[in-house]
Amino acid sequence: MLQALIGAEDGAFDCEWVKTITAAVARLHQGGIDVVLLGLGLSDSQGLSAFLQIQDNAPEVAVIPLTNGRDDAVGLKAVRLGAQDYLVKDLLTQQPLAHAIRNAVERKRTHEALKKAQNGVELREEDRTSELNQLYDEEQKAHRQSEILRVASLALTRSLDLDQVLLSLLDCLATLVPYDSACVILHVAESQFGVAVARGYEYFADGVPLKRLVFDMQAYPHLREILESRRSVVIPDTADYPGWNASIGAGLLIRNWVGVPLIANDNVIGLYSVDNRNPDFFTAEHRELCEMLAPQAAIAIENARMYATLGSREEQLRSLSHRLVQMQEAERREIARELHDEVGQVLTGLNLVLGTAARQAAEKVGEGLAQAQTLLNDLMGRVRALSLDLRPLMLDDLGLLHALVWLFDRYTGQTGVSVRFTQTGIRGRRFGQDIETAAFRIVQEALTNVARYSGVDEALVHIWASDDMISVQVEDRGRGFDVDSVLSAGQSSGLAGMRERTELIGGRLTIDSVPGTGTYVSANLPLHAAGRVERGGP
């Protein structure tokens, strides 16, 4: 009957006929079906279950259950479950059937399109949500990072004491990155770097004397890479890193290593590193967090270092002023004693001689005056010597060379120690007053020491000057002494005074002495040092 009705539509529908649900499902899987007219009383499935099987197997195909007049309710249920329509078999006529089929197909297509669109909206919504989540995460991360920086900057700038700053740096790092050990390496001199602070290495090996270790960074590939690239370096697994075996810490159980350069005023002033016992432990975020601290840490370290330099310079100035005051007092005592003992006595003698002469007969006065003149000459000599001791005038009037020649002459006369003197570049030249005074006093003190302690009767003095430097060297081949123990005892004021004078004008003093061999004192004084402390001297 159906076939007849559909066929009558003059080629409008291609109709296939199967008798069981199994056959229908198999046919549907092959595709090309728009609508299923489903009888509900098939041999292998009945009622709604037949409908559901079709729907499960071909959800995109429209289904029109065909009910008997009796079970209208089943048709309605099928429609509620997704059927496009239902038809009562006994009431079918050609016209409504064709309509029903077209409507069902159309409804199904619209339904499918709607479903697709809805899925698309849901997908887009999912995208938006994940985008928003990502933005939220990023915002949270930025917030966390700025908070970390704020706390770190507070901690790092709380103190100007370098050790304190370095410990704060390790503390800050610990809050960001779970390291087993960490250290800070700072530039010491030229290509030398030293471990300034270290923490956690006791977990690896007992008593590793890492702190204060000084080494050449160029000698270690991973450290050299940091120096050259000025970027952080990660060694995911030290076991696979060719240069690690010869490294500092190679004997330790470090497997994962991250090093970050400290850059201040465009110079790499050092680095800090964190270690972990597990390979590949540190994540990209750990590295990023480590790097975040570097700029602030570098500034804090530079400030602390500068402060320490200023502090020690101030300390030097204070101690020199103190010594100068002491020296002045000693000199005043000496002058007072000389005036009292020498000049005072001669004046008393002169007074007596003149008094006696005044009472004597006229022919004896000449004798008294001659005696008075001898005393006066003696007095003039003593006053001149006293004045020269205080400060040789020729140093100001005639310059360093003349003052030194005078000093050697007098020194040899007083001590019996001869001076072998050579010079280059100082004849006819004048230097700054502070330089000439420093050079003169250093030679004077060194020569006094030779006479007092060396036990030999010859000293060698060599002075040479270039355009920007004057170098003063005093040498003896005498008894010698242990420089370190004398300086660390802190008792010496002569050698310490030489050092202070030299350093205050930006120079460098070297004292070399070997017991039994001799002593060598050398001061290099820059003629135009920037930032030199300008100061006259006694």
> Applying CB under 6 A, which residues contact ligand ATP?
449-450, 453-454, 476, 478-481, 486, 492-495, 519
Please tell me the distance from the alpha carbon of residue 450 to that of residue 418, in angstroms, as a whole number.
11
CB nearer to Mg ion: give 399 or 494.
494
CB nearer to Mg ion: give 449 or 502.
449
The candidate with the shortest Cα–Cα distance to 70, out of 89, 55, 52, 54, is 89
Smallest separation, CB 360 to Mg ion (Å): 51
Estimate to the nearest angstrom the gap between the alpha carbon of 194 and the chain centroid. 12
Q: What burial letters (b/e) apply to 342-373, b meaning 16+ CB within 10 Å? A: bbeebeebbeebeeebeeeeeeeeeebeebbe
Q: Which does 352 bind (CB under 5 to 8 A by kind): Mg ion, ligand ATP, none?
A: none
Please tell me the distance from the alpha carbon of residue 505 to that of residue 253, in angstroms, as a whole number.
49
Q: Which does 478 bind (CB under 5 to 8 A by kind): Mg ion, ligand ATP, none?
A: ligand ATP
CB nearer to ligand ATP: give 43 or 485.
485
Q: What burial letters (b/e) apply to 449-468, b meaning 16+ CB within 10 Å? A: bbbeebeeeebbbebebeee
CB nearer to ligand ATP: give 372 or 439.
439
Smallest separation, CB 512 to Mg ion (Å): 16
Smallest separation, CB 416 to ligand ATP (Å): 16
Smallest separation, CB 407 to Mg ion (Å): 15
Please tell me the distance from the alpha carbon of residue 225 to that of residue 248, in angstroms, as a whole number.
15
User: What phi-psi label fits residue 241: left (phi over 0), alpha (psi between -120 and 50 degrees) or beta?
Assistant: beta
Residue entry with tokens 């198999």: 26
Q: Which does 519 bind (CB under 5 to 8 A by kind): ligand ATP, Mg ion, none?
A: ligand ATP
Smallest separation, CB 460 to Mg ion (Å): 18
Please tell me the distance from the alpha carbon of residue 85 to that of residue 82, in angstroms, as a whole number.
9
> Both tokens of residue 55?
């729907």
Smallest separation, CB 483 to Mg ion (Å): 13
| Interface with Mg ion (CB under 5 A) | 449, 494
CB nearer to ligand ATP: give 412 or 492.
492
Q: Which does 453 bind (CB under 5 to 8 A by kind): Mg ion, ligand ATP, none?
A: ligand ATP
Smallest separation, CB 535 to ligand ATP (Å): 20
CB nearer to ligand ATP: give 225 or 476.
476
Smallest separation, CB 375 to Mg ion (Å): 35
CB nearer to Mg ion: give 449 or 473.
449
> Both tokens of residue 495?
């050698």
Cβ distance 470 to 426 under 8 Å? yes
Smallest separation, CB 471 to ligand ATP (Å): 18
CB nearer to ligand ATP: give 344 or 515.
515
Q: Which does 481 bind (CB under 5 to 8 A by kind): ligand ATP, Mg ion, none?
A: ligand ATP
CB nearer to ligand ATP: give 180 or 476.
476
Q: Which does 249 bind (CB under 5 to 8 A by kind): Mg ion, ligand ATP, none?
A: none
The candidate with the shortest Cα–Cα distance to 262, out of 232, 306, 234, is 232
CB nearer to ligand ATP: give 111 or 479.
479
Concatenating the DSSP letter of every residue in 112-166 gives HHHHHHHHHHHHHHHHHHHHHHHHHHHHHHHHHHHHHHHHHHHHHHS---HHHHH
Smallest separation, CB 417 to ligand ATP (Å): 11
Residue nearest to ligand ATP (CB): 494
Please tell me the distance from the alpha carbon of residue 435 to that of residue 52, in angstroms, as a whole number.
109
> Both tokens of residue 109?
């297509």
Estimate to the nearest angstrom the gap between the alpha carbon of 223 and the chain centroid. 13
Q: Side-chain half-sphere of 273: how many Cα atoms within 13 Å?
A: 23
CB nearer to ligand ATP: give 436 or 445.
445
Q: What burial letters (b/e) apply to 494-529, b meaning 16+ CB within 10 Å? A: ebbbbbbbbbbbbbebebebeeeebbbbbbebebee
Q: Which does 535 bind (CB under 5 to 8 A by kind): ligand ATP, Mg ion, none?
A: none
Smallest separation, CB 493 to Mg ion (Å): 7
